[in-house]
Amino acid sequence: MEQIVKAANQLNKGFLVAFPTETVYGLGADATNENAVLRIFEVKNRPSNHPLIVHIGSINELENWTKDVPEYAYALARKYWPGPMTLILIRSKNIKDFVTGGQDTVGIRIPNNETALLLLKEFKKIGSGAIAAPSANKFGKVSPTSYQHVVNELSNDLGENDMIIDGGNSEIGLESTIIDCTSEFPRILRPGAISEKQINEIIQLDLNNKETEMRFSGSFKSHYAPNAKVLLDEIPKPGDGLIAMNDFVTPKDVIRIGAPENIEEFARNLYSDLRKADELNLKRVIVIQPQGDELAVAIRDRLKKASH
């Protein structure tokens, strides 16, 4: 707790705090502090026109940061927050261009992680309570799902007043579902653990309008990629790494990196498995994609980008 109070103070002074969420670790800054937010882009090597997700602690704070929120977005928020869902909404005047890359919309999420929620609560007591945070990895690379991943990836770029909070392993392991809520019907911009089916239980998704482009970095073709070449659904050769459900038999001289027993475990371990491939200096890692709906859709989306 002491560490969380200190982290809230550091955020309020304009320093960066990497923190755990149930999806992946985020690299956070006070969403109202321009210099602090600009440092996120520097540390990540991220192009500054890529909008950031703003994390808040309670639905009551939504109207500070957004306007014209459709009723269905409130319904989604009440049902799935705190949780792995980001809503794209029209921003209020309190959200500046340096957070949204100049767009008039903002992505908002309440994460479902005890440490993250405590941090947001403490930060709300002394400051804005809004933490702008992308995943805590270098731009284009695999998102971190443990404290150690963040340390390995960013400690050279963080200063002594910045912090990394250790909150164990991310439970879900894939980034949040992003839902555009700026039209009459919502659209999924990035699949995640909140599935199409779960959204349709609340509000009919816009099915005619799937292809409209929005500027979001997950839409860049190569993303979430390790150094090893990721190949999908190929027969692994000797010396290749392999990630596949545990009933898939490892061929001779292939290095088995991941053997999850179910889809949830596949998602939870995917990014650390891809990092393992790099630690082992593998040139190629073969991933046999999981079949099915819901979380498997999000896994295949990330694999497609990792393999590009």
Interface residue list for Mg ion (CB under 5 A): 135
Beta bridge partners of 107: 53, 88
> Residue 239: which of 281, 268, 211 has the closest Cα?
281
Q: Which of 131, 100, 113, 110 is nearest to 217 (CA)?
A: 100
Count the Cβ atoms, other than its own, within 10 Å of residue 229: 15
Q: Would you count residue 36 as binding ligand TXA (CB under 6 A)?
A: no
With CB cut-offs between 5 and 8 Å by kind, which of Mg ion, ligand TXA, none does residue 87 bind?
none
* DSSP symbol at 217: G
Instruction: Kindly tell me which of 134 and 258 has the beta carbon lying closer to ligand TXA.
Output: 134
Size of the site for ligand TXA (CB under 6 A): 28
Task: Quote the least distance from Cβ 118 to ligand TXA, whole Å.
Answer: 16
Span 121-160, contacts to ligand TXA by CB under 6 A = 133-135
Cβ at position 89, least distance to ligand TXA in Å: 8
* Three-class secondary structure assignment of 157-190: CCCCCCEECCCCCCCCCCCCEEEECCCCCCEEEE
| Binding region for ligand TXA (CB under 6 A) out of 2-10, 172-180, 231-239, 286-294 | 172-180
Three-class DSSP category at 147: helix
Q: Site for ligand TXA (CB under 6 A): which residue of 12, 86, 146, 307?
A: 86
Binding at 123: pick from ligand TXA, Mg ion, none (beta carbon under 5-8 Å per type): none
Three-class DSSP category at 106: strand
**DSSP structural state of residue 45:** T
Helices (H) and strands (E) in the chain, counts: 10, 14
**Two structure tokens written together for 204:** 């009919």
Which residue, 128 or 143, has its beta carbon nearer to ligand TXA? 143
Q: Looking at 7, 69, 88, 267, which residue binds ligand TXA (CB under 6 A)?
A: 88
Residue 106 — φ and ψ, nearest 5°?
A: -140, 145
Residue 164 interaction partner, one of Mg ion, ligand TXA, none, beta carbon < 5-8 Å per kind: none
Q: What is the nearest approach in angstroms of ligand TXA to the Cβ of residue 176? A: 3
Beta pairing, strands 177-180 & 229-232: unpaired
Using CB under 6 A as the binding rule, the residues of this chain from 242 to 281 that contact ligand TXA are none
Site string for ligand TXA, 189-208 (x = CB under 6 A): x-------------------
Distance CA 137, CA 232 (A): 23
Min dist CB 161 to ligand TXA, Å, is 21
Binding site residues, ligand TXA, CB under 6 A: 21, 23-24, 26, 50-53, 86, 88, 100, 103, 105-107, 109, 111, 133-135, 175-176, 178, 189, 214, 216-218
